[in-house]
Amino acid sequence: MAVPWRPGPGAAEPEQAEQASPLDRAAIEDCLRRATEHLLSLQDDEGWWKGNLETNVTMDAEDLLLRQFLGIRTAEQTAATAGWIRSQQREDGTWGTFHGGPAEISTTVEAYVALRLAGDRPEDPHMRAAAEYVRASGGIAATRVFTRIWLALFGWWPWERLPEMPPEIIFLPKWLPLNIYAFGCWARQTIVPLTVVSAHRPVRPAPFDLTELHTDPANPYPLRPLAPPASWDGFFERIDLVLHAYHKRAVRPLRRLALTQASRWIVERQEADGCWGGIQPPAVYSLIALHLQGYELDHPVMRAGLAAFERFTVHTEDGARWLEACQSPVWDTCLATIALADAGLEPDHPALLRATDWMLAEEITTKGDWAVQRPQLPPGGWAFEFHNDTYPDIDDTAEVVLALRRVRHPDPAKVAGAVRRGVEWSLGMQSKNGAWGAFDVDNTSTLPNKLPFCDFGEVVDPPSADVTAHVVEMLAEVGRADDPRTRRGVAWLLANQEAEGSWFGRWGTNYIYGTGSVLPALVAAGVPRSDPAIRRAVRWLEERQNQDGGWGEDMRSYEDPQKWSGRGDSTASQTAWALMALLAAGEGPGGQFAPGDGEPRRGSAAVERGVRWLAATQLPEGSWDEPQFTGTGFPWDFSINYHLYRLVFPVTALGRYLHGNPVLGEVRRGT
């Protein structure tokens, strides 16, 4: 379990560093060698890497509920899934959304219902403890909208008491607020099928009741008072009342046309592997929506969609099963390629060539939803998953380009073409403020987040520091550091530094990730290491270093940054991010020359302690133990443990410690 941050070394650290034994370079080289060999051993024969992507048990509970709704749940699947859900229950009877995090009511309710489906009884001690927590936390009425939608499918919650989202939203033009393209790509893929489900309001017979989860069984669906009409909440709550009235009086021809158009929109976005967007929420709701629209289970669209879940299923040695919310092969492969190259593998190493060939084959050359805002922009770039041509993302594209640039491929023209297309597509996806979001351009409206329907996670995709930094680093690597668009990105990063010196991390946890992304990018783009922004960031990282020498940051920094910013148990991935930032800022091994500075680096006690922590905590197999969640889907609401992060980032950091960062012109092999 995560514990509050322990004070860092502070002013006493230089003296402590002098007393510590000097780093044994041979020991660090051996640590890197074992990590590199382990990473190489994980490569697939086709050239890709993919670590498991672990989230929370709502994925598994909803899988059982989906199968119950469609009538395809089997005893074997149920028992295996229930075994996993039970294994994740904490001593107090609850479930959380990340390792060591607090109990979470919606997750606990969904896990409880799944175990009821598996035959666990309300009077069983583990179930009784869960139910007591749910009632003490407000009961089912206190859960998020998405949980209550799942319960409404079986009559455990009334559809009339859920926010209304009419399918007619599909007709709104893109210049109107709250059209489907005002939402982030993950949200629009979820909302469109849910409008279909909401229009049908289906109810399957419930196999049991859930009275034990209500605070007052005599009044299980208490009304909440409306917010003041002058507030956004109050305004949208009253709009919701109007939409509920419209549901009863909808113009039938228009409603049928909207349902048909929404169904067509869903089918057109099914990927080659049968999934939607490569992520779980759109997939489950799309299957339910299409089934309600008359698609039988043996229809090719339905068969492919259900088969996709089998590929997302992880089977454990003890017979349990759990589902990945998504799969990350492109992301993992480009990060692994960068790590191995920076660790000292020759640029034409067979593993790097296989990875390059696989990444080249994954380039997206067709237009997707991003073209709604950029219709004239030629396609290019890469997605996160195996198959997701509709939604390439800017973050993956930047890192793939950085990876390709590190490899000496026998067909350099082919690589150069892919790099050029990726660079031009990324530049075309720059938002008006000079920064970059993950999937869309200028997806910055604040209205979608205010809808009663949207009470779980981000539903828009505004620019973020981590994505912007990766693009800036990539543009500097390809010789575009002086491009006006790159300079606008640099200016945005400098303007969005937190007061204490860090940067917010949208897609990784959190300020350590943001800072670990931004510092290498700024230095690569030509910002002097002596710049006050860089020195403030260095001081912040040094202050946040744990007493054991590592760095860590708990997910709670999204909710309470004052207490948790840069604070938490040391982890391998977050220690590596901090080291990558400090090394880029010139805080490297003493005696090495920083390019352009003209003076040797001063030895950094913080860096040496961080490297020593990585070496001391490495497992015999070459990796690191990391149960903590350091990846982010939605800040605070949806957390991720990327199982490969604990390996690829330490390899990168140790490689740069020993050999330098090639993007910064540092290559010190053999020194």
Which residues belong to the active site? 395
- How many beta carbons lie within 10 A of that of residue 130, not counting itself? 27
Residue 542's region, left for phi above 0, alpha for psi from -120 to 50, else beta, is: alpha
Strands 321-323 and 631-634: unpaired
Specify the DSSP element, H or E, that contains 311: helix 300-311
Are 194 and 282 in contact by the 8 Å Cβ rule? The answer is no
Q: Which residues contact 638 (CB under 8 A, 6 or more apart)?
A: 55, 56, 97, 325, 456, 457, 632
Specify the DSSP element, H or E, that contains 648: helix 645-659
Q: Which of 623, 656, 653, 627 lies closest to 642 in space, CA to CA?
A: 627
Measured over the CA atoms of residue 317, residue 321, residue 322 and residue 324, the dihedral's sign is positive
DSSP states along 459-515: -SB---HHHHHHHHHHHHHTT-TTSHHHHHHHHHHHHT--TTS----SSBSSHHHHH
DSSP states along 336-386: HHHHHHHTT--TT-HHHHHHHHHHHHT---S--GGGGT-TTSPP--B-SSS
CA-CA distance, 378 to 355, in Å (whole number)?
25
- How many beta carbons lie within 10 A of that of residue 226, not counting itself? 13
CA-CA distance, 455 to 110, in Å (whole number)?
16
CA-CA distance, 611 to 21, in Å (whole number)?
13
Are 631 and 645 in contact by the 8 Å Cβ rule? The answer is yes
Q: Which of 66, 484, 78 lies closest to 302 in space, CA to CA?
A: 66
CA-CA distance, 566 to 540, in Å (whole number)?
9
Q: Which of 435, 427, 426 lies closest to 488 in space, CA to CA?
A: 435
- How many beta carbons lie within 10 A of that of residue 100, not counting itself? 17
- How many beta carbons lie within 10 A of that of residue 186, not counting itself? 25
Q: Which residues pair with residue 641 across a beta bridge?
A: 54
- Tokens representing 250 are 């909808």
**SS3 for 24?**
coil
Beta sheet of 638-642, edge-to-edge order: 53-54, 638-642, 631-634
- How many beta carbons lie within 10 A of that of residue 433, not counting itself? 17
Are 271 and 277 in contact by the 8 Å Cβ rule? The answer is yes
Amino acid at 149: I
CA distances from 45 to 353, 354, 638, 643 (A): 12, 8, 32, 19
